[in-house]
Amino acid sequence: MPIIPLNTAASGLDIKLRDGAGQLTDPTVITYDIQEPGLTLVADDIAGFKRAVGHYDARNTVIPSGFDVSKPWKVIWSWTAADGVSSSATEEFTVSTGLGGSFTDLDNITKQIKEDIAATAGEFTEEQLEIFIVKSLDRLNLKLQLQGTTDELSFNDSLGVIQPTPSSPMRALIVMQAECLIVKRRQSSAISKGIKVRDGDSAIDTTAGFAGHKDIVTDICETLDKCIAAFLRGLSGVEDLGAIIWHGNSRLFEDADFDGDAFGTKDFRTPFDSKHLGPLH
């Protein structure tokens, strides 16, 4: 007995028509009905989908919800042969309410991160990438001044989703922040493993590539900072965010911890500032 998942096309309900010699042969007309256990026709005289000569299925119908799935359903095929003779055949099938699959936004974010940083197989587990994303949410909450607001970002571990659902620009910032943290970790790991040994005229130096790591970190993290500034400048009430973006040609605050494990800022304001004096007022 065929098993067809609920809310999916009934492509598994197929039929093959053969002539007297056993050859697959097309009829002139072929339709089907689908009947749920309560005898309601959820498909009525629907044209069969041709898969090949003499082979048809019922994919033109999606099995609907709202009906009994504890008892067998029926598909009733009807066709007319080239000689005008009509026939029919009935088959029972089961409707399954089995698990459905979908990708969460976190899945898409981790996939994008791995592609962007060209992560090698086994370099990061999904749990490690999740930690990077959670740390990224913390940093963005600080940089965007979201703490204590309804827009504060958090990760729901049981559902595997970021809340509130990030917009496309916010999702891009999350990806970039995570990538900034990851390339810094790569640089730190490379430095800790680097050696430089000289023995007479012979030398082994594995630190030569550190400059390349630094360039990558600078490129990714500086791009992140520019995108955050652009994001903030596009918000309403931007005049209240001058403490974390550039104001004209003057920098007011700069991240001083370089995305380490602590947070801090450098204050570039002067006593002559009139809008954002803060504690200098």
Domain-wise residue ranges, the chain: 3-94, 105-280
Give CA 132 to chain center in angstroms.
Answer: 16
Q: Is 238 left (phi over 0), alpha (psi -120 to 50) or beta?
A: alpha
What's the pLDDT at 99? 67
Measured over all CA atoms, what is the biggest interatomic distance in the chain, rounded to whole angstroms? 99
What's the pLDDT at 238? 46
Q: Which two tokens stand for residue 116?
A: 């962007």
Query: CA 128 to CA 140: how far, in whole Å?
Result: 18
Query: CA 179 to CA 201: how far, in whole Å?
Result: 40
Length of the chain: 281
Q: Mean pLDDT by 10-residue block, N- to C-terminus, for the chain (281 residues)? A: 88 91 94 96 95 94 92 96 93 84 73 84 84 91 87 83 87 90 77 55 52 64 83 61 47 48 48 48 39
What's the pLDDT at 78? 97
What's the pLDDT at 121? 79
Q: Sign (positive/negative) of CA torsion 174, 180, 184, 186?
A: positive
Looking at the domain 3-94, which fold is it? Immunoglobulin-like (2.60.40)
Instruction: State residue 265 phi and psi, 5-degree precision.
Output: -140, 155
What's the pLDDT at 229? 80
Instruction: Of 39, 59, 63, give the one whose Cα is nearest residue 49.
Output: 59
- Residue 259: CB atoms within 10 A of its CB come to 19
SS3 content of the chain, % helix, strand, coil (to 5): 30, 30, 40
Neighbour-count burial of 122, counting CB atoms closer than 10 A to its CB (0-12 exposed, 13-18 middle, 19+ buried): exposed
Query: CA 234 to CA 163: how far, in whole Å?
Result: 22
What's the pLDDT at 67? 94
What's the pLDDT at 204? 52
Q: Which two tokens stand for residue 120?
A: 């090698």
Cβ 137 vs Cβ 154: under 8 Å: yes
Instruction: State residue 177 phi and psi, 5-degree precision.
Output: -65, -40
What's the pLDDT at 226? 83
Q: Is 280 left (phi over 0), alpha (psi -120 to 50) or beta?
A: alpha
